[in-house]
Amino acid sequence: MTHILAIDQGTTSTRSIVFDGAQKIVGSAQQEFTQHYPHPGWVEHDPADLVRTTIETMKGAIADAGLEAADIAAIGITNQRETTLVWDRKTGEPLNNAIVWQDRRTSDMCAALKSKGLEETFTARTGLLLDPYFSGTKVAWILEHVEGARAMAEAGELCFGTVDSWLIWNLTGGGIHVTDATNAARTLLFDIRANDWDDDLLAALNVPRAMLPEVKDCAADFGMLDPAILGHAIPILGVAGDQHAATVGQACFEPGMLKSTYGTGCFAVLNTGEEFVASNNRLLTTIAYRLDGKTTYALEGSIFIAGAAVQWLRDGLKMIDKAAKSGELAAASDPEQAIYLVPAFVGLGAPYWDAEARGAIFGLTRNTGPAEFARAALEAVCFQTADLVEAMHRDWAASAETILRVDGGMVASDWTMQCLADLLDAPVDRPEILETTALGAAWLAGRKAGLWPDEAGFAATWKCEHRFAPKMDDATREKKKAGWRDAIARTLSRQKN
């Protein structure tokens, strides 16, 4: 019994994947669920959908593998990060829909905290910035806006959790209130050096400590699956936020190793080892992973819209019928047209952090058509990655010779990966296993179970499927980047200009 079940609860879908003892995928299942947009800038998930799709895909993946629950040695969970839930400790009933990481409803709250001069304290302790992206202001919003919530929270009757905590609570039958260090690191409430919730930050956001989960290592005992769910009790032994799990799944265990995941958004994570590198370029400092009580730190660049721009071409503009067409179209575009799309649909993330900016497209002519839109959407993802990698180089000289390991749905596009290598002027390595997020969660659980190899053994199994080497000449690259910088400058909100 060496199979591991990984649950990857993402922003738009939930996936479960069964890996065998040789780290090969032997079964999987995936389900999308409804996104709720109750007001402009708001994004919510129904908490019940998160649990339902998790349980259904767990069953689906085990069936797809031709196995029984009793064949699964352990479960690893990885999840969309920052998304915030609050529920009643007695009944397990959520007080509100989950407030998703993309939700901007707390921008005014963040601005108010900044105007009190608090950003420096938050950044020094959490490595994050005062942006609505993170959980802290979302919890505060629930406590302020849901009737009776504040009194219940103060009486210790409420639980706050990110999606991992919510899933564990439900999968273990209720009563286990835990999270892991990587998810805690995204809340704005956790001091990532002290490895503890921070009372000053809790006071600034008026969040009672009593509602916070216990924080564990990424490979730890998170509880037993309620046997009523699959007919068998299985230990949950690994948990990490999805970008952290991908860092592990890409075997980025050495300082200087960098991965970038291209799904709905794009998240680049650079391992900085035992060093907490404070960013001077508005990147985030975060916990890459915590194993055996030892924290490995990272610099992270977070872009909110990557594959989502391709979805917009498909579903919003109806210029393509499937995502894969975007690369073909871009390849056929007119290279003479300098079209720039700044996909600030939900504001801009790193390194700009402009919650009020909105998307813009520049350089349109009578000849501009779907092909140029497709190229602009794909190039935007690459320009934004280049912005992040340059900021990383400025923050931490040790990252100068970086090779980028990539994963996520969008890396299927060869055109985009070549464009990325060209604009970065660095090699881009696409691994054989693209489900690195799930693989990372499985590795954490497998390592804890003592069934999978340690870091070095696991890293030796990582295989490159294709290396994209840069081909663009310097003059072309610089010209394109100057055009991008100009487009960004023209898109930033007045607040930033």
Ligand X SMILES: O=P(O)(O)OC[C@H](O)CO
Ligand Y SMILES: Nc1ncnc2c1ncn2[C@@H]1O[C@H](COP(=O)(O)OP(=O)(O)O)[C@@H](O)[C@H]1O
Contact between 10 and ligand X by CB under 6 A: the answer reads yes
**Given the DSSP bridges, would you call strands 294-303 and 266-273 parallel, antiparallel or unpaired?**
antiparallel
- Residues 315, 312: Cα–Cα separation, whole Å: 5
Query: Rounded to whole angstroms, how far apart are CA atoms 433 and 466?
Result: 11
Cβ proximity to ligand X: between 23 and 183 the closer is: 183
Question: Least separation, in Å, of the C-beta of 307 and ligand Y?
Answer: 2
Of 155, 324, 364, 460, the one binding ligand Y by CB under 6 A = 324
Other CB atoms within 10 A of residue 459 CB: 15
The sign of the CA dihedral 326, 330, 332, 334 is positive
**What secondary structure letter does DSSP report for 219?**
B
Measured in whole angstroms, how far is the alpha carbon of residue 266 from the centre of its chain? 8
The structure tokens listed for 491 are 């898109």
Task: Tell me if 431 contacts ligand Y by CB under 6 A.
Answer: no
265 binds ligand X (CB under 6 A): yes
Which partner in ligand X, ligand Y, none is near 187 (CB below 5 to 8 A by kind)? none
311 is in an annotated binding site: yes
DSSP sequence for 328-360: HHHHTS-TT---EEE--BTBB-TTT-BTT---E
Instruction: Indicate the angle between helix axes 47-64 and 163-171, nearest 10 degrees.
Output: 70
Site for ligand X in 85-124 (CB under 6 A): 101
What pairs with residue 7 in β-bridges? 16, 77
The interface region with ligand X, picked from 144-152, 235-243, 423-431, 461-469 by CB under 6 A, is 235-243
User: Tokens 């921008």 label which residue?
Assistant: 107
Considering only 110-118, 257-265, 365-373, 483-491, which stretch makes contact with ligand X by CB under 6 A?
257-265
Pick from 14, 16, 28, 80 the residue near ligand X by CB under 6 A: 80
Residue 130 CB partners (closer than 8 Å, separation 6+)? 110, 113, 114, 118, 119, 122, 137, 188
Q: Which residues pair with 13 in a beta bridge?
A: 32
Residue whose structure tokens are 């023209």 = 490
Q: Least distance to ligand Y from the beta carbon of 13, Å? A: 5
CB of 103 or CB of 354, closer to ligand X:
103
**Residue 82 is assigned to a ligand binding site:** yes
Q: Which stretch binds ligand Y (CB under 6 A): 93-101, 384-392, 404-412, 485-493?
A: 404-412
Q: Does 266 bind ligand Y (CB under 6 A)?
A: no
The reply to whether 60 sits near ligand X by the rule CB under 6 A is no
> Is residue 307 part of the contact set for ligand Y (CB under 6 A)?
yes
Verify binding: residue 249, ligand Y, rule CB under 6 A. no
Binding flag, residue 326, ligand Y (CB under 6 A): yes
Binds 101: which of ligand Y, ligand X, none (CB < 5-8 Å by kind): ligand X
242 is in an annotated binding site: yes
308 binding partner (options ligand Y, ligand X, none; Cβ < 5 to 8 Å by kind): ligand Y
DSSP 8-state class, residue 29: E
Binding site partner of 370, from ligand X, ligand Y, none, Cβ cut-off 5-8 A by kind: none
* Residue 125 binds to ligand X (criterion: CB under 6 A): no
Question: Helix or strand or coil: residue 269?
Answer: strand
Residue 199 CA to residue 427 CA, distance in Å, equals 44
Q: What are the residues binding ligand Y (CB under 6 A)?
A: 10-13, 263-264, 307-308, 310-311, 323-324, 326-327, 408-410, 412-413
List interacting residues with ligand X (CB under 6 A). 10-11, 80-82, 101, 241-243, 263-265
**Binding site as annotated, residues for ADP:** 11, 15, 264, 307, 409
